[in-house]
Amino acid sequence: MTACTLAAKNSDSASKWVWSYVGPRGQRVWTAVLPFICVFVVAMGGGCASYSVPGQGVAMEAIGVSAKGDGDPAIAQSMAKQPMAKFPTGIAAVRIQSAGYHSDTVQTFGTGRFCVVTTRDVEKDEQIEQLMKMPLVSGVAPVNRLLLPEQLNSEMDLRQAAACLHADVLLVYTLDTAFQVQDKASPLTTITLGLSPTQKASVICTASAVLLDTHNGYVYGVAEATDRSSQIASAWTTDAAVDEARRRTESGAFAKLVGELEKTWGGVVRAHAAGQPTADVQ
């Protein structure tokens, strides 16, 4: 058997690291390995020198976390809210978007911090029926512009509109869409004057919703869903292609959101409808 050891062997000038092993005839053979070790260390160091971590953690003190646990009046007010909806209950539904939102396929209403989309764009009839068929839901009604103030600044404005519909629960949802257009073959686009379908329009949409108590703003639950799509188009039809992909993606995101809302509503019914004399919890 060949025995190997790593040791320091003295030489005339200085000691160096060598690799020692016993040869087939019993003689000990020494081989210098210091140069190889140096090369390995330098190579590894060079590979790590260009890498940086994405970022550092956050000190809890930086976001106000304190061992004292000082109470906050705003937090205390939110925690003090209690659900007041009676089941079965009606749901008022409203879609909101950022101020100044514009699309050729929808109409909006209101100024201020946000606006309300007053026309159905990506919502389909079968998806609204899904919401109406949820347990202990007596009906789903859209919030009409006639019930809204011109200036929209808080959820109180929306809850007041829901109160006019005598809906104990308010469903507020919004669609956050982003897109980009990538040219997969720039030279071909130049040669064909933009007629060749070489551009890829990628769209991602996240639909978010919250269920609020109309009476006091108590949050019953939240839901969220995301959908993605892409479409190949030419430079001359990019706008139309992107808008088509947007509507298709937003419709897909809303469909997934309805599925998530069904799950959330099931939890709401189990937690808050049990024990009410008129509620038949399944």
pLDDT, tens only, 145-156: 999 999 999 999
**Mean pLDDT computed over 168-180:** 93
Measured CA to CA, the distance from residue 176 to residue 137 in angstroms comes to 27
The predicted structure's pLDDT at residue 58 = 78
C-alpha distance from residue 265 to each of 26, 169, 187, 272 (Å): 81, 11, 53, 10
Amino acid at 259: G
Question: Which tops the pLDDT comparison, 15 or 200?
Answer: 200
CB 16 within 8 A of CB 8: yes
Q: Is pLDDT of 132 > 70?
A: yes
Which residue, 106, 87, 85, is CA-closest to 97? Answer: 106
Q: Is the dihedral of CA 112, 113, 119, 121 positive or negative?
A: positive
- Cβ atoms within 10 Å of 262's Cβ, excluding its own: 15
Measured CA to CA, the distance from residue 129 to residue 117 in angstroms comes to 19
* Confidence class for position 176, pLDDT limits 50, 70, 90: very high
Query: What is the helix (H) or strand (E) element at residue 159, kind and residue range?
Result: helix 155-164
Q: Is pLDDT of 126 > 60?
A: yes
CB 278 within 8 A of CB 92: no
* Confidence class for position 238, pLDDT limits 50, 70, 90: low
Q: Is pLDDT of 234 > 70?
A: no
Q: Is pLDDT of 113 > 60?
A: yes
**Mean pLDDT computed over 139-163:** 96
Contacts of 186 (CB under 8 A, 6+ apart): 198
Measured CA to CA, the distance from residue 122 to residue 253 in angstroms comes to 9
- Cβ atoms within 10 Å of 192's Cβ, excluding its own: 15
Measured CA to CA, the distance from residue 246 to residue 187 in angstroms comes to 27
Q: Is pLDDT of 225 > 50?
A: yes
The predicted structure's pLDDT at residue 8 = 46
Nearest-5° angle of CA 117, CA 213, CA 222? 70
> Which of 15-19, 137-141, 246-250 is the least confident region?
15-19
